[in-house]
Amino acid sequence: MTASGMTAHDRGLPRTSTVAVVGTGTMGQGIAQVALAAGHPVRLYDAAPGRAAQAAEAIAARLGRLVAKGALAAADRDAALGRLAPVDRLADLADTELAVEAILEELGAKQQLFTALESVVSDRCLLATNTSSLSVTAVAGALRRPGRLVGLHFFNPAPVLPLVEVVRGFATDPAAADRAYDTVAAWGKTPVRCADTPGFIVNRIARPFYAEAFRVYEEGGADPATIDAVLRESGGFRMGPFELTDLIGQDVNEAVTRSVWESLFHDPKFTPSLAQRRLVEAGLYGRKTGRGWYDHTEGAPRPRPHTAEPCDAPEKLALHGDPGPAAGLVPLIEEAGITLTREAGPGGFFELPDGTRLSLTDGSAATMDPFGPGIRFDLALDYRTAGRIALAPSETAAPEAVAAATGLFQALGKQVSVVGDLPGMIVGRTVAMLVDFATDAVARGVASAGDIDTAMRAGVNYPRGPLHWGRQLGAGWVRDVLENLHGACPTGRYAPSQALVRRAASEGKLL
């Protein structure tokens, strides 16, 4: 509700307005179901003969299952089906006021369709494309009136997932984008506004979630099961990147990565993974082919994460300086009955009884530590609730020190995964990159900070919006991690964005 008392319901498309869905495959059916549930009459059109009628039957079957589960009243199902009409000709869409396109992902086909639609519908009709990777500006490029075309990027399955990215093409009339936004909000969805940039919000900012995990694997840091477990149990992500891409399909996920990378003129921050390319070349797409990173065939054993055997915890530790984002460990150590002495001065590390430094990853390898062979531990979303912590000992760390560090985290109730000494470890480098991508996207006008955090939570279930996460960690910490990673791997991939560098500098001044 705004000051004028108008709600999204009032500003969006009236419920009596007819919505057309063109292309009635997976997404078209889902979008049609959402528009029906919101009360609109819906027309279905598909180029393949009989496909629209099949889609209507599939939607009826889905609504029937909702009735059987008690999630929908039979009378509402009947009313919805009474408003649903498959049609055979584009001309039958003449009186629609919103036409959502969900045909194949091909620019020429989409341009042709919208050109044909434009000559059929009235000037009032809003046009929307559900493209996930094409430029909305290019899709509208062939139109007489490109101002009324917006991107409405629904996520699969559209009736279940709340997020819809409302994309303004270069020529999109702001009033058209507002109308589309209000309409999907009135449909009960969670719309976010974004500019027409490759990957929009989610498919742009999520890239490092996959890419960093694949890199840790490629560089021999850990195996997929361990990386997935660390990102789930320490990072708080619902699924790890290996299991998630097996679910999405390696072909689909890699195509998105390549498309964003190519659209951004091969920006090194978006470079795809060679290991994933090989999976795609081998036809190992994931669950749908029975194998991807994991073997999904019936009865195949699921690899388990590497988990350290029980070790003795040290009786005492010294904390030097400010532990920064690892401060949450301090009360846990004290609650576990381990004596913690505090030493003033620079540092930000725990000193084990043998003098070994145990420190939160800072984006550099433990082996490069100028103070001798140290041990790094990974970032956690919340050290209290984390079920697992990754440790990376330097190549010359004493086995007794590794055992003491392992025992320490075990005494705090965590499983421990000892991984290779890779800079930034697993959660640390992933989150630092997500924060940087999100900070950079705000600066470039891709979307507002609030919309980015909403999109990453509602669209891909992140446990915390990346900008919120960045504020908690401090931009200075994130910048330092990335600068150290950049030092270790100077390809440009890890160079912190100018926006992050500025944020870190101003953060210091604001203190």
Q: Judged by CB, which is closer to ligand NAD: 11, or 51?
A: 51
Judged by beta carbon, residue 195 or residue 402, the one nearer ligand NAD is 195
Contact indicator for 122, 248 with CB cutoff of 8 Å: no
Please give the backbone phi and psi of residue 132, each rounded to the nearest 5 degrees, phi first: -100, -15
Task: Give DSSP secondary structure letters for 145-171.
Answer: SGGGEEEEEE-SSTTT--EEEEEE-TT
User: Closer CB to ligand NAD, residue 105 or residue 178?
Assistant: 105
> Measured from the CB of residue 1, what is the shortest distance to ligand NAD in angstroms?
30
Residue 78 contacts by C-beta under 8 Å, 6 or more apart in sequence?
A: none
In Å, how far are 348, 437, 468 from 504, measured between CA atoms?
Answer: 18, 15, 14
**Triad 252, 257, 263: Cα angle to 5°:** 120
| Residues annotated as part of the active site | 132, 153, 165, 203
**Edge-to-edge strands, sheet with 388-393:** 339-343, 316-320, 349-351, 357-360, 375-377, 388-393, 415-418
Residue 38 CB, shortest distance to ligand NAD, in Å, is 19
Least distance in angstroms from the C-beta of 200 to ligand NAD:
10
DSSP 89-152: SGGGGTT-SEEEE---S-HHHHHHHHHHHHTTS-TT-EEEE--SSS-HHHHHTT-SSGGGEEEE
Neighbours of 385 (CB within 10 A): 12
- Provide the β-strand partners of residue 191: 164
Q: 125 with 161: CB under 8 angstroms?
A: no
In the bound state with ligand NAD, the residue whose beta carbon lies nearer, of 24 and 226, is: 24
Nearest to 22 by CA among 139, 137, 123: 139
Q: Is the CB of 29 or the CB of 226 nearer to ligand NAD?
A: 29
Kindly state the smallest distance separating residue 229's Cβ from ligand NAD, in Å.
26
* Smallest distance, ligand NAD to C-beta of residue 133, A: 6
Burial of 318 (0-12, 13-18, 19+ CB in 10 A): middle
Question: Residue 116 Cβ, how far from ligand NAD at the closest point, in Å?
Answer: 9
Choose between 25 and 323: whose C-beta lies nearer to ligand NAD: 25
Comparing CA positions, the residue from 184, 180, 192 lying closest to residue 37 is 184
Shortest Cβ 118–ligand NAD spacing (Å): 14
Residue 165 forms beta bridges with which residues?
153, 192
Binding residues vs ligand NAD (CB under 6 A): 22-28, 46-48, 51, 102-105, 109, 113, 130-132, 154-156
Shortest Å, Cβ 175 to ligand NAD: 25
Q: Which residue number, 100 or 441, has a Cβ lying nearer to ligand NAD?
A: 100
Residue 457 CB, shortest distance to ligand NAD, in Å, is 18
| Structure-block tokens of residue 262 | 């190519």
**Residue 415 is inside which H or E element, if any?**
strand 415-418
Query: 380 with 325: CB under 8 angstroms?
Result: no
| Of 383, 315, 301, 393, residue with least CA distance to 356 | 393
Angle of helix 26-37 versus helix 51-68 axis, rounded to 10: 60
* Complex with ligand NAD: residue 48 or 74, whichever CB lies closer: 48
- Residue 79: how many CB atoms within 10 A of its CB? 12
**Closest residue to bound ligand NAD by CB:** 25
Would you say 358 and 375 are in contact if contact means Cβ atoms under 8 Å apart? yes
Q: Which is nearer to ligand NAD, 206 or 467 (CB)?
A: 206
Concatenating the DSSP letter of every residue in 283-344 gives T--BGGGTBSSSB-STTPPPPPPP-PPP-PPPSEEEEES--GGGTTHHHHHHHTT-EEEEE-
DSSP character at residue 207: H
